A and B are shown apart, each in its own frame.
Chain A
Amino acid sequence: MIPTGYGDDRIVLMVKDPWWLFAYWEIQPGTERAVRSQLLPHEVPGLSSILRVYDVTGIEFPAQPACRSFDISLSGLATNWYLQTNAPDHAFIVDIGLLAHTGRFLRLARSNQVRTPRSGPSEVLDEAWRTTEEAYWALLGASAGIGMGASPTGWSALLQRAFFSGQWSSPLPTGQGRAAVKGFWCRVNTDLVVYGATEPKATVTVQGQRVAVRPDGSFSLRLALPEGTQTITVEVTSADGRRAEMVAPVVSLARDGSVRAEPAGSDAPGRG
């Protein structure tokens, strides 16, 4: 249902970070055929698909030539590419096209223009808001959590770590349902179910606590069973209060083996 294409000839350029761009594109076979038909026969062998990346910082492109450009050879089926430009605070445009061994380049599509962000402090200073180099670095260090007065030497590594390695949270689940348990493990736990039946209108207590009797007269109670011996006192009283029965099963739990018991009740695991 998600379309593989939209019938366009287009390439779109996006910024990922100060050093990397991302491009995706769609070129119709007919368009490529039409462009290929402009080639001379001897230009066809060795023809390759490329991205031509133009650094257009500070210029009107294409009226003015790009400051620099470089090519990336594409594998046949690619429809997107991550481009390493290593050029923060620069503007880029990308062409996709065909490159002949003669050096002739035939463009299939040209991208939008993007600008990468700065990756460090600006060199531009503001006269009205003068600051000393010392004060700036003191505040930058403090901002980055590096500490006041940290030396500018080696700041960039520190900044990278301080700014960009956060373990940020999210309201959405970010991990599997439970913390990973390493290696082999097992849990053995015991819940005890006490159940029975009586007249639907009778009163039932277990250990002195009232237990609900269902319309069919049945009742049940589940208890996390700790180690040791427990006496379970079940008292049943008739609706008119004249008759009463008391049953007191005795249950004892002892654990044997190498699985060490944790406090019961949570179905806490005993782990070897």
Chain B
Amino acid sequence: MTRRGFLALVLHAHLPFVRHPEHPEFLEERWLFEAITETYLPLLERLQRLGNDRVPFRLTMSFTPPLLAMLSDGLLQARYERHLERLIELAAKEIERTRWTPPFHRLALFYHHRFTTARRLYVEAYRRNLIQAFRELSDRGVLELLASCATHGYLPLMDLHRPAVRAQLQIGVQAFEHAFGRRPAGFWLPECGYHPGHDELLKELGVRYFLVDAHGILFGSPRPKYGVYAPALCPSGVAAFGRDLESSKSVWSAEEGYPGDDEYREFYRDIGFDLEYDYVRPYLNGDGTRLHTGIKYHRITGHTDDKQPYDPDRALEKAAQHAGHFLFNREQQADHLSSVMDRAPLIVSPYDAELFGHWWFEGPDWLELVIRKAHAHHPRLSLIAPSDYFQHYPTNQVLEPSMSSWGFGGYHEVWLNGANDWIYRHLHKMAEQMTDAAARHPHPDGLRTRLLNQMARELLLAQSSDWAFILKNQTHTGYAYRRLHSHLGRFTRLSDALRQDRVDEGWVADIEAKDNLFPFLDYRVYAA
């Protein structure tokens, strides 16, 4: 049987580092809790089920170091359990309250079951260790794991200071090894942000490949013979895989994509906003602002405010149809591509992992169905991980990919515009100061080593692309500003203390306890 094409599905999992031990509860920590309940646990459950059913498949996932740090943090693990307990309590109340309204009663039972299942999986099955659960899927050979930058730094706008870029990459690889106990197969450049020359730095770290957006390959030089349907080798020998836009759009697009279907769950109708205030107040955060609880009773219905009750069975049927549609189109696409290529095309489809489950509630079901149907009905379409491609076609064209990102506009405007451009003069200066400090202090004592390491952590946290992204999107801007402010402030005070040789151990320890990620960090990466 001839093989018509390869399909590589890639999920990029990332959240910024949000951990506030100084507050009993913190609104933005919910980003992690919601992602665990709605995305990571449902994905794990489905991937394990596929493995248990011996469905052969390959899927690729990247995990950023801040997410890995939060998933393994004891404080956040305990807070997640508390969060889940309260959700279960609220769902139980909802079962009672909706007794006379059957469609909603059924949904209350549905949510109660989901949340208690989440608790069982999190506490009993995975013992709070989701990283280990993903690692086991990798051991089984179904999951290919990618590393990513230390704090999701957007590298093209960091290029002024190559040591800062190198540190983002190297600490990213170290964090991966620390979490998974192995070398990463490849690397996810945050926002697919590629700047020519960064492939050399990846080469130094032993990374075999990374992903770029379509125009990164298509506008590469010389012209790519196979477009994005085969990887390109950078001058350094590191491979770059280009994103396929057709398959991306069918999932991503708010308008034409699957997630906007009328049968799917409506994200914006949540009992945290809809129900009587005093009733939901115990489940809101400290300041009592209404928020998304995760209990949502309506389907998208259409372009109307008159939303109808959600029906999980009908939504699942729709997910199955969409999975079939997606695979039919990929097969058609592979047929067309084969007619102009002298080798089997590879279609690379990367998505944000949190789209699946959090934004698109049925996304994890869709993914499972794609994998099952690909195996059952589409034998000529092989699900592979990018690294598998080289076993089929070890020889690939050498070209220099073009600078690019997958952000709006295709370049840097999401992270460089009137709402956030002011941050770069500070980020660049911090990188310069860090590099200077690392060069000036090659052999400091124990306390100064800790201080220099903490300076590096503060720089890295300030460099998270998330802050620029949030400032651009005009929501939670206060939080993004406070975070930039606090990391810049801590960095500056640490830097001043070092320069003036007035280092206070208790104060360094206090900052270490707050921004506690990367225990393995060695600031000398900035001296390289």
A and B, one complex?
yes
Residues of A within 8 A of B (CB): 1-3, 6, 8, 12, 14-18, 22, 24, 26, 80, 112, 115, 117-122, 124-126, 128-131, 135-136, 138-140, 142-145, 148, 159, 162-179, 181, 185, 189, 191, 207, 209, 221-226, 230, 262-269, 271
Q: Is B410 within 8 A of A163, CB to CB?
A: yes
Q: Is B99 within 8 A of A142, CB to CB?
A: no
Contact of B223 among A136, A209, A262 (CB under 8 A): A136
B472, closest chain A residue (CB): A174
Kindly provide the distance from the CB of A267 to the nearest chain B CB, expressed in whole angstroms. Answer: 5
Give the A-B contact count at a CB cut-off of 8 A. Answer: 255
Q: Is A163 within 8 A of B245, CB to CB?
A: yes
Complex Cα distance, B340 from A177, in Å, reads 47
Q: List 22 A-B contacts (CB under 8 A).
A: A1-B488, A1-B489, A17-B410, A22-B421, A80-B421, A121-B218, A126-B397, A139-B337, A139-B340, A163-B214, A163-B410, A167-B253, A169-B354, A170-B352, A171-B354, A173-B475, A178-B269, A209-B96, A221-B96, A223-B97, A223-B99, A263-B309
Which residues of the partner chain A approach B218 to less than 8 Å between Cβ atoms? Answer: 121, 140, 143-144
- Say if the beta carbon of B426 comes within 8 Å of chain A: yes
Which residues of the partner chain A approach B253 to less than 8 Å between Cβ atoms? Answer: 166-167
On whether A177 and B297 interact (CB within 8 A), knowing A131-B225, A143-B227, A148-B336, the answer reads no
On whether A142 and B337 interact (CB within 8 A), knowing A166-B252, A177-B268, the answer reads yes
Among all A-B residue pairs, the 5 with the closest Cβ atoms: A265-B101, A171-B354, A139-B227, A122-B221, A265-B104
- Say if the beta carbon of B389 comes within 8 Å of chain A: no
Q: Is A179 within 8 A of B412, CB to CB?
A: no
B358, closest chain A residue (CB): A171
On whether A162 and B245 interact (CB within 8 A), knowing A129-B222, A266-B309, the answer reads yes
Contact of B407 among A140, A168, A177 (CB under 8 A): A168
Kindly provide the distance from the CB of A178 to the nearest chain B CB, expressed in whole angstroms. Answer: 5
Q: Is B229 within 8 A of A139, CB to CB?
A: yes
Q: Is A16 within 8 A of B273, CB to CB?
A: no
Which residues of the partner chain A approach B412 to less than 8 Å between Cβ atoms? Answer: 14-17
Kindly provide the distance from the CB of B239 to the nearest chain A CB, expressed in whole angstroms. Answer: 15
Supply 12 further A-B pairs (C-beta < 8 A) apart from A143-B214, A145-B245, A267-B275: A14-B424, A22-B416, A124-B222, A139-B226, A142-B336, A144-B245, A166-B248, A168-B352, A172-B466, A178-B273, A179-B305, A225-B100
Q: Is A144 within 8 A of B214, CB to CB?
A: yes
Complex Cα distance, B384 from A121, in Å, reads 28
B12, closest chain A residue (CB): A171
Which residues of the partner chain B approach A122 to less than 8 Å between Cβ atoms? Answer: 219-223
Number of B residues with CB within 8 Å of any CB on chain A: 108
A179, closest chain B residue (CB): B268
Which residues of the partner chain B approach A170 to less than 8 Å between Cβ atoms? Answer: 352, 354, 469, 473
Q: Is B408 within 8 A of A164, CB to CB?
A: yes
Q: Is A12 within 8 A of B245, CB to CB?
A: no
Q: Is B279 within 8 A of A173, CB to CB?
A: no
Q: Is A117 within 8 A of B403, CB to CB?
A: yes
Kindly provide the distance from the CB of A39 to the nearest chain B CB, expressed in whole angstroms. Answer: 28
Kindly provide the distance from the CB of A174 to the nearest chain B CB, expressed in whole angstroms. Answer: 5
Which residues of the partner chain A approach B407 to less than 8 Å between Cβ atoms? Answer: 168
- Say if the beta carbon of B439 comes within 8 Å of chain A: no
Kindly provide the distance from the CB of B499 to the nearest chain A CB, expressed in whole angstroms. Answer: 14
Q: Is A263 within 8 A of B104, CB to CB?
A: yes
Complex Cα distance, B278 from A99, in Å, reads 67
B273, closest chain A residue (CB): A178
**Chain B contacts with A in 244-273, Cβ cutoff 8 A:** 244-246, 248-249, 252-255, 266, 268-271, 273
Complex Cα distance, B110 from A41, in Å, reads 83
Which residues of the partner chain B approach A126 to less than 8 Å between Cβ atoms? Answer: 222-223, 225, 397-399
Kindly provide the distance from the CB of A67 to the nearest chain B CB, expressed in whole angstroms. Answer: 20
Q: Is B244 within 8 A of A143, CB to CB?
A: yes
Which residues of the partner chain A approach B397 to less than 8 Å between Cβ atoms? Answer: 126, 128-129
Q: Is A222 within 8 A of B410, CB to CB?
A: no
Contact of A167 among B96, B252, B297, B484 (CB under 8 A): B252
Which residues of the partner chain A approach B248 to less than 8 Å between Cβ atoms? Answer: 166
Q: Is A171 within 8 A of B402, CB to CB?
A: no
Which residues of the partner chain A approach B269 to less than 8 Å between Cβ atoms? Answer: 178-179, 266
- Say if the beta carbon of B93 comes within 8 Å of chain A: yes
Kindly provide the distance from the CB of B217 to the nearest chain A CB, expressed in whole angstroms. Answer: 8
Kindly provide the distance from the CB of A264 to the nearest chain B CB, expressed in whole angstroms. Answer: 5
Which residues of the partner chain B approach A262 to less than 8 Å between Cβ atoms? Answer: 306
On whether A121 and B104 interact (CB within 8 A), knowing A24-B421, A171-B31, A223-B97, the answer reads no
- Say if the beta carbon of B35 comes within 8 Å of chain A: yes
- Say if the beta carbon of B198 comes within 8 Å of chain A: no
Q: Is A178 within 8 A of B268, CB to CB?
A: yes
| Contact bitstring B417-456, A, C-beta under 8 A = 1, else 0 | 0000110111011000000000000000000000000000
Q: Is A171 within 8 A of B223, CB to CB?
A: no
Q: Is A2 within 8 A of B488, CB to CB?
A: yes
Kindly provide the distance from the CB of A176 to the nearest chain B CB, expressed in whole angstroms. Answer: 7
Kindly provide the distance from the CB of A263 to the nearest chain B CB, expressed in whole angstroms. Answer: 6
Q: Is A264 within 8 A of B101, CB to CB?
A: yes
A112, closest chain B residue (CB): B160
Which residues of the partner chain A approach B337 to less than 8 Å between Cβ atoms? Answer: 139, 142
Complex Cα distance, B229 from A121, in Å, reads 16
Which residues of the partner chain A approach B469 to less than 8 Å between Cβ atoms? Answer: 170, 172
Which residues of the partner chain A approach B16 to less than 8 Å between Cβ atoms? Answer: 172
Kindly provide the distance from the CB of B367 to the nearest chain A CB, expressed in whole angstroms. Answer: 15
Q: Is A177 within 8 A of B219, CB to CB?
A: no
Complex Cα distance, B157 from A221, in Å, reads 57
Complex Cα distance, B403 from A260, in Å, reads 55
On whether A222 and B279 interact (CB within 8 A), knowing A144-B245, A167-B253, the answer reads yes
Complex Cα distance, B426 from A16, in Å, reads 18
Which residues of the partner chain B approach A124 to less than 8 Å between Cβ atoms? Answer: 221-223
A136, closest chain B residue (CB): B223
On whether A142 and B246 interact (CB within 8 A), knowing A135-B340, A164-B408, A266-B298, the answer reads yes
- Say if the beta carbon of B355 comes within 8 Å of chain A: yes
On whether A24 and B416 interact (CB within 8 A), knowing A15-B403, A223-B97, A271-B306, the answer reads no
Which residues of the partner chain A approach B475 to less than 8 Å between Cβ atoms? Answer: 173-176
